Amino acid sequence: MIVLMKNRFKSSKLFVIVLSILLMFLFSGCENGSGDTSYVAPDDVSWEFYNQLAEDFVMAVARGDYDTAVGMFDETMTAVVSADDLQSMWEETIIPLAGEFITIYRIENGMADGFFISGVIMRHEDTGFGWNIVFSEDGLIAGINTAGTITLPPDT
């Protein structure tokens, strides 16, 4: 499906936009598949676990290790986003928009529909940029969506 979409869209920027929208739809329809509707309070979550995974993912992407990054995906994500897709998103959209990656500025946390979200705010040369990395309970990435550019205070 991704290959067919790539061939249909002449612009890689348009392809990334369409892919991002598809990922948002994918995330919005996520279920945990177990039928378990139990509630976990955000205070009861080991955020260090998910935040470390989010940091590992972002750092793999930033150093160009896209195979390692997609190796952190669950089956659904693996079916829709390849290492080449992730590389294109990073190198052809995010870097031109935000500048070269500098560091992770901060990670914020939240939950939705039984998923654990690490909102990673990255400092780039030109601006901040955010990714919401959505994890299943077992720590696999079940979705990624962008929070877009973010104004950060000057680096001191």
- pLDDT tens for 28-77 read 444 444 444 444 556 678 899 999 999 999 999 999 999 999 999 999 99
Per-residue pLDDT averaged across 73-84, rounded? 97
Instruction: Say what the pLDDT of residue 23 is.
Output: 46
What total number of domains does the chain contain?
Answer: 1
For residue 37, being part of any structural domain is answered with no
Instruction: Say what the pLDDT of residue 147 is.
Output: 82
For residue 36, being part of any structural domain is answered with no
**What is the token pair recorded at 25?**
């739809």
- CATH number of the domain at 24, please: 3.10.450.590
CA–CA distance from 2 to each of 6, 28, 98, 126, 153 (Å)?
A: 6, 19, 25, 30, 37
For residue 100, being part of any structural domain is answered with yes
Q: How far apart are CA 12 and CA 7, in angstroms?
A: 10
For residue 54, being part of any structural domain is answered with yes
**Mean pLDDT for the chain overall:** 81
For residue 17, being part of any structural domain is answered with yes
Q: What is the side-by-side strand order in the sheet with 115-124?
A: 101-112, 115-124, 128-135, 141-150
Residue 3 in this model has a pLDDT that exceeds 80 = no
For residue 34, being part of any structural domain is answered with no
For residue 23, being part of any structural domain is answered with yes
H/E segment holding residue 131: strand 128-135
Residue 122 structural domain: 2-28+46-149
Instruction: Say what the pLDDT of residue 36 is.
Output: 44
Instruction: Say what the pLDDT of residue 2 is.
Output: 42
Nearest to 140 by CA among 80, 75, 45, 48: 75
